[in-house]
Amino acid sequence: MSTTYLEAIRQGMWEEMERDPNVFLLGEDIGVYGGAFKVTAGFFEHFGEKRVVDTPISEAAIVGAAIGAGLMGLRPVAEMQFADFITCGFDQIVNFAAKCRYRWGAAVPMVVRAPSGGGIHGGPFHSQNPEMWFVRTPGLKVVAPATAYDAKGLIKSAIRDNDPVIFFEHKGLYRRIKEDLPAEDYTVPIGVAKVAREGRDLSIITYGAMVWTALEAAGKLAEEGASVEVVDLRTLVPLDRETVCASVKKTSKALLLHEDTRTGGMAGELAATLTEAVFEYLDGPIVRVTAPDTPVPYSPPLEQAFLPNVEKVVEKARWLWRY
């Protein structure tokens, strides 16, 4: 039976709560209501109010309580109803949770779930991809799965990890992506990318929902004779530079794709990495396909123009392939 991306996250959290009584959930409307996207539906009834905690509308309080619980030996999974609202808990994440191990060796085994991304006509306050705020903060791990298999395996790894993990789950994938999952327990290691499609002419490096955009674009380019490799980062911190560099060494051309805005985005970090490590292998310029440097529009036609899509990727990749 096929499992959705949303259900995969549900299963991962449920299994970890069954496995470890120290795991608990907290967030706005996650209990009785079952969560804004119904990810936690049924958890309250099964695990009870002490392990599925409905909180006030205060991300600062949610994050602060999670940090305290983590320091006392529990394993909190805190939900931000939308990733955009993580700003209200930003100070405690980047100035406290991220620095505890560095300052006095204290583990903070905390997961912050952040439903992110556009394509749902949510406007500028419910559609952002704020991963880079955390990628540049030492002490945090940042995860962004694209598939149901990886979403389940990585949420389980994140819960078991002894450091704070920011877990970006793309809202547009929740019910759109399905696959058959193993019946047995499994995890996906944090910090390991994967090659989602093998190719020889050009590498597309991406993560999250854009993996599916890249795969569709690669399929269209294959009809024209181009062999495109797609690398799914899966984890942004730690970044698997070895897999990225190995792919570009093989194909000699790199297109960097993300839904986040352009300036200061992950593509810039990847471009610098490739320039430093594999410059002599490149047969063309490093190309970026990203959202522009604007807030996410509410208007559906404007949002469509804002977001990277298959047509934009094919156009840029075709140009690079022929370079």
Helix (H) / strand (E) containing 237: strand 235-237
* Residue written as token pair 């490093």: 286
Sign of the alpha-carbon torsion through 86, 87, 89, 92? positive
Distance from C-alpha of 148 to C-alpha of 175, rounded to nearest angstrom: 10
The 10 Å Cβ neighbour count of residue 95 is 10
Establish whether the linkage from the previous residue to 238 is cis, with ω within 30° of 0.
Answer: yes
Distance from C-alpha of 95 to C-alpha of 102, rounded to nearest angstrom: 11
Residue 202 bridge partners (DSSP): 228
Distance from C-alpha of 126 to C-alpha of 275, rounded to nearest angstrom: 34
Contact of 201 with 321, CB cutoff 8 Å: yes
Q: Dmax of the chain from CA atoms? A: 60
Q: Which two tokens stand for residue 312?
A: 């934009």
Contact of 129 with 117, CB cutoff 8 Å: yes
Considering the candidates 46, 126, 170, 258, report the single residue annotated as catalytic: 126
Distance from C-alpha of 235 to C-alpha of 301, rounded to nearest angstrom: 31
Q: Which two tokens stand for residue 116?
A: 């992110």
Provide the residue type at 9 as one letter.
I
Contact of 287 with 255, CB cutoff 8 Å: yes
Provide the residue type at 41 as one letter.
A
First-last CA distance in the chain: 44
Is 126 one of the annotated active-site residues of the chain? yes
Enzyme catalytic residues: 126
